[in-house]
Copies of this chain bind each other. A is one copy, B any other.
Amino acid sequence: MIQPSSLLLIPLIAFFLQSVNALKVNKEYNRPQFHLTPEKGWMNDPNGLWYDRKDKLWHAYYQHNPNSTVFESPISWGHSTSKDLIKWEYKGVAIEAEEEYKDNQGIYSGSVVIDRHNTSGFFNKSQDPEQRVVALYTLNTPTAQTQELAYSVDGGFSFIKYEKNPIIDVHTTQQRDPKVFWHEGTEKWIMVLAKAQEYKVEIWSSPNLKDWEFESFFTSGISGYQYECAGIFELPIENPKSDDPDTKWVLVLAVNPGAPMGGSVNQYFIGDFDGKAFYANDHVTRIQDYGKDYYAFQSFENTDSEDGAIGLAWASNWQYAIVVPATNHRHSQSLARKHTLKYVNVNPENNQLVLVQTPVLETKETKKNSSLKSWEVINQYDLEDTNLTSETFVATDFNSERNSSGVLDFNLTFTVAPESADYFVININSQIVQGTQETIQATFDPQQTTWFIDRSTQNDFQRKTPYYQERSSVYHQYASKDDDDIKTYHVYGIVDRNILELYFNNGEMTATNTFFFSQNKIPSSISIATDTEEEVFTIESLTIRELGFKCGCEK
């Protein structure tokens, strides 16, 4: 175990992109900057994610109570918008229960579709076809969960509830989270619903978003206590085999509680969808993210198919969501991720389709028009072809004279000599406050080809809270192997105040974990070290960056 007491800089190709300015950043230690958070109050599941092609604006709604930092009534749909999926503007509450029912009704999770051709009849010519917004959600009451509908004639900022709600009522308290999309093949709207405690993903169809017919259900994998937040979408295969189609369908499914790793988890299945039923290719269940904090994933509606599916997940776990430290808000969403499918060597004898996830730091639109992009690189550190040993370790020193933005990312490609039993540690270090520095760690063990994540800090909260699991792990097969059995691995990580997202081998596996430094410390440096004297590990390439918002230049 390595705990470097002083950080040694190896300034091989280190350079500063800009001078050290005072940063205009929010100093709330537990408010991620590049991750969507509500201005105040509680947030859980992402809802109604869609992209406005006319105004080039990303809309995210979410389960929200602006006046409480725990999950309690009234739960509404909060709303935020973004030009680049990184900087979000809080727009307040978009859909809420009627005033008289607020204590007994919740506007629970659901989705948004663009009813371009006005199948619903809610729109007229004054609404641009790209802004004919229909939201479908679950109305929760103490005695029932019904599926309801509301539409927006102002581009998704306010909603009018359908007067003939509910659109689906099967007289249960356990049917929820409608995720709707248009299916070209059958020319119908498809709704995917969780019949939570029967462990059924229900598939319904409709010509007009108002009248729904039950088609089929799907059950598989880990069941836990209940199903939630199911979804189906079609994805391109990056490297299709010759007898393959170019795309496959993915069914995502949230389970809580009862995840094998504790509490909340998202799993996925790969298969085919014909407009009536989902057919899994195999009976294998796959975990969407191996961290503790990735739940209730939803994909954006109305993105271009070339983008794959872009989506968000809630970055917490019901095991401890209401008890983790909070100031005036609680929880964030994950970074937006792009999803595709790819054949990957999951072990030396098996090449399988897996979901590949990439953080969306730059969208198609921000690439075309950089004024849409809200962020920039404040500092950057690069390294190539360097042996990592106990004598030579790597550490950034961006922030010796000022505070960090608290947003750091690293992109590491490394090789491991055969038969190595040593390991190395990526340390994510806090500021020094009152003489103390804290570190969370990701340790790579080549014998097990596994990353061990330790998010323990000095924060009293974690010692007092049995719910909070400090350590987790991700098995991570090598990306490639050369003739001499030297194995190559990749890892990309982004640390944003109190959340760490790790993407292994270009996103074949991911792990998302929140953490809580004490004394409101924020992350300020990254170091990588090993205690082996042998030349076991070679850093082929490493970039560490400090990221921040552009200062006053947002349009």
Chain A residues close to B by CB (< 8 Å) = 1, 174, 197-199, 219-226, 257-263, 265, 280, 282-285, 287, 290, 318-319, 346-350, 425, 441, 443, 445, 448-450, 452, 454, 463-473, 475, 477
- A197-B350, A225-B346, A346-B223 known; A473+B263 contact, CB < 8 A: yes
A sample of 30 inter-chain contacts (CB < 8 A) reads A1-B464, A1-B465, A197-B349, A198-B349, A198-B350, A220-B282, A220-B284, A221-B221, A221-B285, A222-B222, A223-B346, A225-B475, A257-B448, A257-B449, A259-B260, A260-B287, A260-B290, A261-B261, A263-B448, A263-B475, A280-B283, A283-B283, A285-B285, A319-B450, A445-B466, A448-B467, A454-B466, A469-B471, A470-B470, A470-B471
Measured in the bound complex, the distance between the Cα atoms of B450 and A198 in whole Å is 20
Shortest beta-carbon distance, A296 to chain B, in Å? 17
Interface contact A223-B258, CB-CB below 8 Å: no
Given known pairs A467-B445, A472-B262, the reply for A174 and B283 (CB within 8 Å) is no
Contacts of A445 in B (CB 8 A): 466-467
A260 / chain B contacts, CB cutoff of 8 Å: 222, 259-261, 265, 287, 290
Q: How far is the CA of A425 from the CA of B464 in the complex (A)?
A: 12
B466 near A443 (CB under 8 angstroms)?
yes
In the assembled complex, how far is the CB of residue A419 from the closest CB belonging to chain B, in whole angstroms?
13
Whether A471 lies near B466 (C-beta < 8 A) is yes
Q: Closest B residue to A444 by CB, please name it.
A: B466
Known: A199-B284, A263-B473, A319-B450; 7 extra A-B contacts, CB below 8 A, are A197-B350, A219-B284, A222-B260, A226-B347, A257-B448, A260-B290, A261-B261
Which residues of the partner chain B approach A221 to less than 8 Å between Cβ atoms?
A: 221, 283-285
Q: How far is the CA of A282 from the CA of B452 in the complex (A)?
A: 33
Contacts of A262 in B (CB 8 A): 261, 472-473
Residues of B within 8 A of A349 (CB): 174, 197-198
| Chain B residue contacts of A450, Cβ below 8 A | 257, 263, 319
Q: How many copies does the complex hold?
A: 2
Partner of A473, one of B283, B284, B319: B319
In the complex, chain B residues whose CB is within 8 Å of the CB of A225: 346-347, 475, 477
The 9 residue pairs across chains A and B that have the minimum distance between CB atoms = A197-B349, A260-B260, A452-B466, A220-B283, A262-B473, A258-B475, A443-B466, A197-B347, A469-B471
Complex: A351 Cα to B260 Cα, angstroms: 20
CA–CA, A369 and B57, complex, Å: 78
Q: B468 near A219 (CB under 8 angstroms)?
A: no
List the B side residues contacting A475 at CB < 8 Å: 224-225, 257-258, 263
Cβ of A288 to closest chain B Cβ, rounded Å:
11
Q: A174-B349, A466-B441, A473-B469 are in contact. Are A283 and B198 (CB under 8 A)?
A: no
Asked if A1 meets B466 with Cβ closer than 8 Å, knowing A199-B350, A283-B283, the reply is yes
Nearest CB on B from A69, distance (A): 16
- The CA-CA distance from A199 to B221 in the complex, in Å, is 15
Taken together as a complex, chains A and B put the C-alpha atoms of A457 and B350 apart, in Å, by 40
Nearest CB in chain B: distance from A470 CB, A? 7
The chain B residue sitting closest to A347, CB to CB, is B197
The reply to whether B197 and A348 contact each other, CB–CB distance below 8 Å, is: yes
Q: Which residue of B lies closest to A425 (CB)?
A: B466
In the bound complex, residues from chain B placing their C-beta under 8 Å from that of A346 are: 223, 225
Instruction: Report B-chain residues with C-beta under 8 Å of the C-beta of A477.
Output: 225
Closest to A473 in B: B262
Q: Which residues of B contact A452 (CB under 8 A)?
A: 466-467
Give Cα A463–Cα B454 distance, bound, in whole angstroms. 10
Cα distance, A226 to B345, chains bound together (Å): 12
A233 to B280, CA, bound (A): 27
Residues of B within 8 A of A448 (CB): 257, 263, 318-319, 467
- Which of A1, A219, A225, A477 has most chain B Cβ within 10 Å? A225
Bound CA span A174–B198, Å: 38
Q: Looking at the assembled complex, report how far the CB atom of A3 sits from the nearest CB atom of chain B, in whole angstroms.
A: 10
B residues near A464, Cβ cutoff 8 Å: 1
Chain B residues whose CB sits within 8 angstroms of the CB of A469 once the complex forms: 469, 471-473
In the assembled complex, which residues on chain B have CB atoms less than 8 Å from the CB atom of A287?
A: 260
Query: Closest CB-CB distance, A293 to chain B, in whole Å?
Result: 14
Rounded to whole Å, the gap between the CB of A518 and the closest CB of chain B is: 17
Question: Given A197-B350, A260-B259, A260-B287: A282 and B466 within 8 A (CB)?
Answer: no
